[in-house]
Chains A and B, each alone.
Chain A
Amino acid sequence: MSHAAATTSGAHGLHADHHGADLSARNITLDPAKGKTLSLLLIVVGLAGLGVTIAGGFAVGIKHAVGAYHVGAMSMLAISLGALFMVLAFHLIGAGWSVTIRRQFENVASLVWLPAIMAAGTFVIEVATGGHLYSWLQKGAQSDPLLAAKSDYLNPVFFAIRAVLFLGLWVFLSRKMFAYSTEQDRTGDKWLTNRARFTASWGMPLLALSIAFAAFDWLKSIDYRFFSTMWGVYYFAGSAFVSTAVVVMLLTFIKKQGRLEGLVNEEHFHDLGKLMFAFTVFWAYIGFSQYFLIWYANIPEETSFILARKHAGWGAWTQLLMLGHFVAPFYILLWRPIRRSMVALSLLGIWFLFMQIADMVWIIRPMVYSEQIGEYLRQLDQGVPVTADPIRLQHIWLDIAGIVGAAGLFFGLLIRKVYSGQLIPTRDPRLPEALHHRNYV
Chain B
Amino acid sequence: MTSINPDKVTAERLAGLATAPGVSHPAPGTGDGSLVDDPAVRAPLVLNNRSFTEVTDIICGYTENKPGRWWLPVFGLTSTLAGLGTVMILYLLITGVGTWGLNNQVDWAWDITNFVFWIGIGHAGTLISAILCLFKQKWRTAVNRSAEAMTIFAVICAGMFPGIHVGRIWMIWMVFPIPNANAIWPNFRSPLLWDVFAVSTYFTVSLLFWYMGMIPDFATLRDRAVQRLRKFGDAAQTLPFTSIKVDNLRAYGYGLLALGWRFSSRHWHRYEKAYMLLAGVSTPLVLSVHSIVSFDFATSVLPGWHTTIFPPYFVAGAIFGGFAMVLLLLIPARELYPNMKDFITLRHLENMAKILLVTGMMVGFAYSMEFFIAYYGGNEYELYAFKNRAGGPYWWAYWTMIFCNVVSPQLFWNKACRQSPIVIFIVSFLVTIGMWFERFVIIVTSLHRAFIPGQWGMFWPTAVDIGIFIGSIGVFLTLFLLFMRFLPVFAMAELKAVLPQADPHHEPAGHAAGGGH
| A residues in contact (CB < 8 Å) with B | 1-16, 93-94, 96, 145-147, 149-150, 153-154, 190-191, 193-194, 205, 208-209, 212, 216, 227-233, 274, 281, 285-286, 289-290, 292-294, 296-299, 301, 429-430, 433, 436, 440-441
Known interface pairs A7-B511, A209-B365, A297-B306; A227-B272 also in contact (CB < 8 Å): no
- Taking a contact as CB atoms under 8 Å apart, the answer to whether B51 and A3 are in contact is yes
A9 to B39, CA, bound (A): 16
Q: Is B41 an interface residue (CB 8 A)?
A: yes
Given contacts A10-B26, A289-B308, A301-B379, 20 further A-B pairs with CB under 8 A are A7-B49, A7-B500, A7-B514, A8-B512, A10-B30, A13-B40, A13-B42, A14-B513, A145-B378, A150-B378, A190-B40, A194-B39, A209-B365, A227-B376, A227-B377, A229-B370, A233-B312, A289-B291, A296-B299, A441-B276
- Taking a contact as CB atoms under 8 Å apart, the answer to whether A228 and B373 are in contact is yes
Q: Closest approach, in angstroms, between the C-beta of A211 and any C-beta of chain B?
A: 11
Chain A residues near B34 (CB, 8 Å)?
A: 11
Known interface pairs A8-B512, A12-B514; A212-B369 also in contact (CB < 8 Å): yes
Chain B residues near A436 (CB, 8 Å)?
A: 517
Q: Closest approach, in angstroms, between the C-beta of B510 and any C-beta of chain A?
A: 7
A93 to B369, CA, bound (A): 26
A9 to B510, CA, bound (A): 9
Of residues 475 through 517 on chain B, the ones whose CB sits less than 8 Å from some CB of chain A are 499-501, 509-517
**Which listed residue (A2, A193, A208) contacts B53, Cβ 8 A?**
A2
- Taking a contact as CB atoms under 8 Å apart, the answer to whether B299 and A293 are in contact is yes
A227 to B24, CA, bound (A): 60
Q: Closest approach, in angstroms, between the C-beta of B99 and any C-beta of chain A?
A: 33
- Taking a contact as CB atoms under 8 Å apart, the answer to whether B373 and A293 are in contact is no
Chain B residues near A292 (CB, 8 Å)?
A: 295
> Please, could you name 6 A-B residue pairs with CB atoms under 8 Å apart, sorted by A?
A9-B512, A11-B34, A193-B39, A229-B369, A230-B311, A429-B39
- Taking a contact as CB atoms under 8 Å apart, the answer to whether A281 and B284 are in contact is yes
Chain B residues near A274 (CB, 8 Å)?
A: 134
- Taking a contact as CB atoms under 8 Å apart, the answer to whether B24 and A11 are in contact is no
- Taking a contact as CB atoms under 8 Å apart, the answer to whether A229 and B309 are in contact is yes
Which residue of the partner chain A has the closest CB to B512? Answer: A8
- Taking a contact as CB atoms under 8 Å apart, the answer to whether A14 and B42 are in contact is yes
Chain A residues near B514 (CB, 8 Å)?
A: 7, 9, 11-13
Chain B residues near A96 (CB, 8 Å)?
A: 42
Chain B contact residues: over half helix, strand or loop, or mixed?
Answer: loop
A125 to B138, CA, bound (A): 52
| B residues in contact (CB < 8 Å) with A | 5, 7, 10, 20-24, 26-27, 30, 33-34, 36-44, 47, 49, 51-54, 134-135, 272-273, 275-276, 284, 287, 291, 295, 298-301, 306-312, 361, 365-366, 369-370, 373, 375-379, 499-501, 509-517
A301 to B500, CA, bound (A): 59
- Taking a contact as CB atoms under 8 Å apart, the answer to whether A297 and B301 are in contact is yes
- Taking a contact as CB atoms under 8 Å apart, the answer to whether B509 and A6 are in contact is yes
Chain B residues near A286 (CB, 8 Å)?
A: 312
Known interface pairs A4-B509, A12-B500, A299-B306; A430-B39 also in contact (CB < 8 Å): yes
Chain A residues near B309 (CB, 8 Å)?
A: 228-230, 233
- Taking a contact as CB atoms under 8 Å apart, the answer to whether A8 and B5 are in contact is no
- Taking a contact as CB atoms under 8 Å apart, the answer to whether A293 and B43 are in contact is no
Known interface pairs A14-B40, A233-B309, A429-B39; A227-B301 also in contact (CB < 8 Å): no
- Taking a contact as CB atoms under 8 Å apart, the answer to whether A205 and B500 are in contact is no
A433 to B379, CA, bound (A): 53
- Taking a contact as CB atoms under 8 Å apart, the answer to whether B501 and A4 are in contact is yes
Q: Closest approach, in angstroms, between the C-beta of A231 and any C-beta of chain B?
A: 8
Which residue of the partner chain A has the closest CB to B511? Answer: A7
Chain B residues near A6 (CB, 8 Å)?
A: 20-23, 49, 509
A436 to B295, CA, bound (A): 44
Q: Closest approach, in angstroms, between the C-beta of A356 and any C-beta of chain B?
A: 20
Known interface pairs A228-B373, A230-B308, A293-B306; A10-B33 also in contact (CB < 8 Å): yes
Please list the 8 inter-chain residue pairs (A to B) with the smallest Cβ-Cβ separation, ordered nearest first.
A12-B514, A229-B309, A429-B40, A149-B378, A6-B49, A2-B51, A230-B308, A193-B39
Chain B residues near A232 (CB, 8 Å)?
A: 369
Chain B residues near A441 (CB, 8 Å)?
A: 272-273, 275-276
Q: Closest approach, in angstroms, between the C-beta of A136 and any C-beta of chain B?
A: 12
A209 to B362, CA, bound (A): 10
Known interface pairs A289-B311, A290-B308; A150-B42 also in contact (CB < 8 Å): no
Taking each of B40, B51, B53, which has the highest tally of chain A beta carbons within 10 Å of its own beta carbon?
B40
- Taking a contact as CB atoms under 8 Å apart, the answer to whether B44 and A10 are in contact is yes
Chain B residues near A430 (CB, 8 Å)?
A: 39-40
A368 to B517, CA, bound (A): 55
Which residue of the partner chain B has the closest CB to A147? Answer: B378
- Taking a contact as CB atoms under 8 Å apart, the answer to whether A208 and B365 are in contact is yes
Which residue of the partner chain A has the closest CB to B291? Answer: A289
Chain A residues near B501 (CB, 8 Å)?
A: 4
Taking each of B36, B291, B517, which has the highest tally of chain A beta carbons within 10 Å of its own beta carbon?
B517
Which residue of the partner chain A has the closest CB to B298? Answer: A293
- Taking a contact as CB atoms under 8 Å apart, the answer to whether B376 and A150 are in contact is yes
Chain A residues near B135 (CB, 8 Å)?
A: 93
Which residue of the partner chain A has the closest CB to B7? Answer: A1
Known interface pairs A289-B308, A290-B308, A293-B298; A146-B42 also in contact (CB < 8 Å): no
- Taking a contact as CB atoms under 8 Å apart, the answer to whether B53 and A11 are in contact is no
- Taking a contact as CB atoms under 8 Å apart, the answer to whether B308 and A299 are in contact is no
Chain B residues near A293 (CB, 8 Å)?
A: 295, 298-299, 306-308, 310-311
Chain B residues near A8 (CB, 8 Å)?
A: 24, 510, 512
Known interface pairs A145-B378, A229-B307; A12-B291 also in contact (CB < 8 Å): no
**Which listed residue (B5, B41, B306) contacts A1, Cβ 8 A?**
B5
Known interface pairs A12-B44, A229-B308, A281-B284; A153-B375 also in contact (CB < 8 Å): yes
Taking each of A9, A15, A285, which has the highest tally of chain B beta carbons within 10 Å of its own beta carbon?
A9
Chain A residues near B10 (CB, 8 Å)?
A: 1
Known interface pairs A7-B509, A227-B377; A299-B301 also in contact (CB < 8 Å): yes
A230 to B310, CA, bound (A): 8
**Which listed residue (A16, A93, A231, A440) contacts B513, Cβ 8 A?**
A16
Known interface pairs A229-B307, A441-B273; A13-B513 also in contact (CB < 8 Å): yes
Which residue of the partner chain B has the closest CB to A212? Answer: B369
Q: Closest approach, in angstroms, between the C-beta of A206 and any C-beta of chain B?
A: 11
A361 to B22, CA, bound (A): 66
Q: Closest approach, in angstroms, between the C-beta of A319 and any C-beta of chain B?
A: 21
A13 to B512, CA, bound (A): 9
Chain A residues near B310 (CB, 8 Å)?
A: 229, 289, 293
Chain B residues near A94 (CB, 8 Å)?
A: 39
- Taking a contact as CB atoms under 8 Å apart, the answer to whether A15 and B311 are in contact is no
- Taking a contact as CB atoms under 8 Å apart, the answer to whether B291 and A297 are in contact is no
Which residue of the partner chain A has the closest CB to B26? Answer: A10
Q: Closest approach, in angstroms, between the C-beta of A110 and any C-beta of chain B?
A: 22
Chain A residues near B37 (CB, 8 Å)?
A: 194
A233 to B517, CA, bound (A): 36
A436 to B517, CA, bound (A): 6
Known interface pairs A11-B42, A15-B513; A297-B378 also in contact (CB < 8 Å): no
Taking each of A1, A11, A429, which has the highest tally of chain B beta carbons within 10 Å of its own beta carbon?
A11
- Taking a contact as CB atoms under 8 Å apart, the answer to whether B515 and A10 are in contact is no
A301 to B306, CA, bound (A): 13
Which residue of the partner chain A has the closest CB to B517? Answer: A436
